[in-house]
């Protein structure tokens, strides 16, 4: 792994700085002869990438050594001194020499000792929060008060740290004037013919619609308004943007590249590296190479066999030349001014991994919108499913557009200092294909002296596929990856996973000796430290030890004598009434008539030890009750089981009802005397229920 080079303490001559007078048409966007907008890359391709670091910046400043600050030898004063020395007398110092030496000594003392300027201030400012020299912004609850009591210190920026507005105002103005299908991130008006399954079969999203939307389509600026006035360092590191792909759709891949080029300052993009993981589609071979030849900053790497997402990313990272590595997926769209906010945080602390806010591009009509809840912290449950949890009040910023800490990343979209990435060992090479890598890199960066942030002013849209359109090679197991991460990084907390996934206990994780040795060599902290200092709010939503359930078993309707059943339902379909099957041996406990009223006050299929990941959900006072993905945020999935045996839904202010004639289950105006609104759970915990109703 590449070790960081020590930097000598030297003084710099005052650097010359470029001016940033943008003119209409200077954003690097030209007209392609076939009608598509092509971003021109002013940098020459190979061998002259140094020119990409800023046209007009002038020569790099030469380090000025301390000796050069002292008077040069020779001259009248020096001759007099040598003459006196030959006569045996001391060489008295001239008044100017004394004053110069006194000034140098005073400057050195200020640089070293003063708290808010000089070398000490630079050292302190570059310490990662939570590191031995940092202020510990990632705090456990007992340290929250200290976090708020600290006064905000003034940051004195040197000439080389001037701030700049990186927005390309002319490009933003042009985007605002674009009209057409999908422009401004609006949904494409689909016909029935465009909704056919074939449109999704090869890519997991509607490629027909994608092909009809411009490669340079405009997107809505859905950032917080404060982002428009934010300034970032004028001198930022450049980045290699790594985009792995396997059998990606033509238009979705090209739109990813176009969005990056159209909305990134050219001097910040060292290169875009497309890494082909052994695709077999013809359009991804010579046609792709011919098209990308139009872009000098884009190059294509190809694997010789199917490697999987993780190793493909590693291949791209190993070929990167930029100061920073930025990973994107192959079906993304970068939004306005997305790159400078990421690079700014790394420039201020190279051990920070930064993630953009990931917006949703709909797999059907390609509408562009925020995720539910927008800014939230990344987390996980104890079956290792990725989750999002609210930012706790203790960590909320006065300015919602400021970066915030996140315990775990979503996975595919982030930026990291290239040297720091390799100091951390990159990804564990023992991880196969995909899955678990987001936990490994997240735990590693936090526990080994770095930090991770989500950046609200950086937004990138991502197509969440309807389903994975390709097969994973035989013998590869997501479970193996998760166990490998647990064995290397989670210490005694791995037991909580094995309690919920007993099949993991006897699963081989492969040889983890090298990874454990890496953890030791990096002096990484324990997972207990991670849970108490970084992810201290996670157990509130996903406790390692599951609290007792309020009720479980069958849910029998008093009026009809029938039971709630899910055997005819799929995710999103209404619940139904069916004949109760309790008392028919093991079939009863394993049937689709077993539910748990959990400590989260939601109702899920399954017994308390094996609940499923979807919940009873209702959207209005007359809607059917459906099964929907559990979000653990209460809302439409919050229920109260009252003493009159009604299941009350606070959001709609109504109660769960049913119809004996057609076996429907739906919401209705509460009527405690109605027997069809009374429900009996097979087992109840009165203590938990009383606590629910009291709250």
Q: 10 Å Cβ neighbour count for 332?
A: 25
What tokens appear for 623 in the block?
């809607």
- Go through the domains of the chain in sequence order and give each one's CATH number: 169-541 (3.90.550.10), 551-694 (2.80.10.50)
- Provide the phi-psi class of 585: left if phi over 0, else alpha when psi is between -120 and 50, else beta: left
pLDDT digits (tens, 9 = 90+) for 387-437: 999 999 999 999 999 999 999 999 889 999 999 999 999 999 999 888 899
The overall longest dimension of the chain from CA atoms, in Å, is 123
Q: 513-521 and 478-489 are packed helices; what angle lies between their axes, rounded to 10 degrees?
A: 40
β-bridge mates for residue 551, sequence order = 597, 684
Nearest Cα to Cα of residue 509 among 475, 478, 473, 483: 483
Are 651 and 635 in contact by the 8 Å Cβ rule? The answer is yes
What letter does residue 534 receive in the DSSP assignment?
Answer: I
What tokens appear for 272 in the block?
């875009």
Q: 10 Å Cβ neighbour count for 295?
A: 17
pLDDT digits (tens, 9 = 90+) for 175-191: 999 999 999 999 998 87
pLDDT digits (tens, 9 = 90+) for 78-129: 444 444 444 444 445 566 666 777 777 776 665 555 444 444 333 333 333 3
Query: Does an H or E element contain 483, and which?
Result: helix 478-489
Residue 543 pLDDT exceeds 70:
yes
Query: Does an H or E element contain 209, and which?
Result: helix 207-211
- Least confident window among 122-131, 164-173, 295-304, 357-366: 122-131
Nearest Cα to Cα of residue 370 among 231, 446, 464: 464
pLDDT digits (tens, 9 = 90+) for 558-590: 999 999 998 765 677 889 999 998 755 554 445
Query: Does an H or E element contain 516, and which?
Result: helix 513-521
Which residues touch 108 (CB under 8 Å, ≥6 apart)?
none
Quote the pLDDT of residue 34: 33
Quote the pLDDT of residue 99: 72
Which residues touch 107 (CB under 8 Å, ≥6 apart)?
none
Q: Which residue has the higher pLDDT, 59 or 325?
A: 325
CA–CA distance, 320 with 274 (Å, rounded to integer): 11
Quote the pLDDT of residue 111: 55
What tokens appear for 271 in the block?
């290169």
CA–CA distance, 410 with 373 (Å, rounded to integer): 15
Place of tokens 């905000």: 152
CA distances from 111 to 122, 135, 186 (A): 10, 21, 55
Are 494 and 227 in contact by the 8 Å Cβ rule? The answer is no
Are 347 and 237 in contact by the 8 Å Cβ rule? The answer is yes
For range 150-165, the mean pLDDT: 58
CA 574 to mean position of chain CA atoms: 34
Burial (CB count within 10 angstroms: exposed 0-12, middle 13-18, buried 19+), residue 189: exposed
* Range list of H helices, 273-381: 286-292, 309-319, 339-348
- Provide the phi-psi class of 28: left if phi over 0, else alpha when psi is between -120 and 50, else beta: left
Based on its alpha-carbon atoms, the radius of gyration of the chain, rounded to whole angstroms, reads: 31
Dihedral angle of Cα 313, 315, 321, 324, to the nearest 10 degrees? 20
CA 346 to mean position of chain CA atoms: 15
Quote the pLDDT of residue 57: 36
* Range list of H helices, 63-94: 75-86
Is 531 in a helix, a strand, or coil?
Answer: helix
For range 677-683, the mean pLDDT: 96
What letter does residue 302 receive in the DSSP assignment?
Answer: E
CA–CA distance, 160 with 202 (Å, rounded to integer): 50
Quote the pLDDT of residue 58: 39
β-bridge mates for residue 299, sequence order = 273
pLDDT digits (tens, 9 = 90+) for 620-657: 989 999 999 888 888 999 999 999 999 999 999 999 99
Query: Does an H or E element contain 649, and which?
Result: strand 647-649
Are 535 and 525 in contact by the 8 Å Cβ rule? The answer is no
For range 372-381, the mean pLDDT: 92
Q: Residues, the chain, total?
A: 695
Nearest Cα to Cα of residue 252 among 290, 210, 222: 210
Nearest Cα to Cα of residue 344 among 164, 169, 171: 164
Are 618 and 626 in contact by the 8 Å Cβ rule? The answer is yes
Are 357 and 455 in contact by the 8 Å Cβ rule? The answer is yes
What tokens appear for 88 in the block?
């045996």
What tokens appear for 342 in the block?
């990421």
For range 377-390, the mean pLDDT: 94
CA–CA distance, 354 with 237 (Å, rounded to integer): 14
Distance in angstroms between the alpha carbons of the first and the last residue of the chain = 54
β-bridge mates for residue 302, sequence order = 276
Residue 369 pLDDT exceeds 60:
yes
Quote the pLDDT of residue 103: 73
């Amino acid at each position: 792994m590449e070790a960081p080079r020590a930097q000598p303490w030297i003084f710099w001559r005052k650097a010359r700085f470029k001016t940033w007078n943008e003119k209409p048409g200077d954003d690097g966007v030209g007209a392609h002869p076939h009608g598509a907008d092509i971003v021109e890359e002013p940098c020459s391709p190979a061998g002259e990438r140094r020119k990409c670091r800023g046209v007009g910046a002038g020569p790099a400043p030469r380090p000025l050594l301390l000796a050069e600050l002292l008077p040069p030898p020779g001259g009248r004063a020096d001759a007099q001194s040598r003459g006196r020395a030959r006569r045996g007398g001391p060489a008295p110092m001239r008044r100017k020499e004394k004053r110069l030496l006194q000034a140098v000594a005073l400057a050195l003392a200020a640089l070293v000792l003063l708290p808010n300027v000089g070398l000490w201030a630079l050292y302190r400012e570059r310490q990662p929060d939570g590191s031995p020299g940092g202020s510990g912004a990632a705090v456990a609850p007992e340290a929250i008060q200290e976090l708020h009591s600290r006064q905000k210190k003034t940051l004195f920026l040197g000439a080389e740290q001037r701030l700049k507005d990186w927005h390309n105002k002319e490009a933003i103005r042009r985007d605002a004037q674009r009209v057409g299908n999908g422009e401004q991130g609006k949904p494409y008006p689909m016909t029935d013919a465009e909704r056919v399954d074939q449109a999704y079969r090869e890519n997991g999203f509607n490629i027909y619609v994608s092909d009809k939307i411009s490669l340079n389509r405009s997107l809505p600026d859905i950032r917080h308004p404060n982002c428009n006035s934010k300034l970032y360092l004028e001198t930022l590191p450049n980045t290699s943007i790594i985009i792995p792909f396997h059998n990606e759709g033509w238009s979705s891949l090209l739109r990813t590249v176009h969005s990056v080029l159209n909305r990134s300052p050219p001097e910040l993009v060292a290169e875009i590296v497309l890494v082909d993981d052994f695709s077999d589609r013809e359009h991804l071979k010579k046609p792709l190479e011919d098209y990308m030849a139009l872009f000098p900053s884009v190059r294509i790497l190809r694997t010789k066999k199917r490697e999987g997402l993780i190793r493909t990313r590693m291949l791209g990272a190993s070929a990167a030349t930029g100061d920073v590595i930025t990973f994107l997926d192959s079906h993304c769209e970068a939004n306005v001014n997305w790159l400078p906010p990421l690079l700014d945080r790394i420039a201020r602390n190279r051990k920070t991994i930064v993630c953009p806010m990931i917006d949703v591009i709909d797999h059907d009509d390609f509408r562009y919108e925020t995720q539910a809840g927008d800014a939230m912290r990344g987390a996980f449950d104890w079956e290792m499913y990725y989750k999002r949890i609210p930012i706790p009040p203790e960590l909320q910023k006065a300015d919602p557009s400021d970066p915030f800490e996140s315990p775990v990343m979503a996975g595919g979209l982030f930026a990291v200092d290239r040297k720091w990435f390799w100091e951390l060992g990159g990804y564990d090479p023992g991880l196969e294909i995909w899955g678990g890598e987001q936990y490994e890199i997240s735990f590693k960066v936090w526990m080994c002296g770095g930090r991770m942030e989500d950046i609200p002013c950086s937004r990138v849209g991502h197509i969440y596929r309807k389903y994975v359109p390709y097969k994973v090679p035989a013998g590869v197991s997501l479970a193996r990856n998760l166990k490998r991460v647990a064995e290397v990084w989670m210490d005694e907390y791995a037991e909580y996973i094995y309690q919920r996934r007993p099949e993991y206990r006897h699963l081989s994780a492969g040889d983890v000796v090298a990874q454990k040795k890496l953890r030791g060599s990096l002096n990484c902290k324990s997972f207990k430290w991670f849970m108490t200092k970084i992810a201290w709010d996670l157990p509130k939503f996903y406790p390692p030890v599951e609290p007792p359930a309020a009720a479980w078993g069958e849910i029998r309707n008093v009026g009809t004598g029938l039971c709630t059943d899910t055997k005819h339902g799929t995710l999103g379909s209404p619940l139904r009434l069916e004949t109760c099957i309790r008392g028919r041996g093991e079939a009863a406990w394993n049937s689709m008539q077993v539910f748990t009223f959990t400590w989260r006050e939601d109702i899920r299929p399954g017994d308390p030890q094996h609940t499923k990941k979807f919940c009873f959900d209702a959207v209005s006072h007359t809607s059917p009750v459906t099964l929907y993905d559990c979000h653990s945020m209460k809302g439409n999935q919050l229920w109260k089981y009252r003493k009159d045996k009604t299941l009350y839904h606070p959001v709609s202010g109504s109660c769960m009802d049913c119809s004996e004639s057609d076996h429907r289950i739906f919401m209705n105006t509460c009527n405690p005397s109605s027997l069809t609104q009374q429900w009996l759970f097979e087992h109840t915990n009165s203590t938990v229920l009383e606590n629910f109703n009291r709250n």
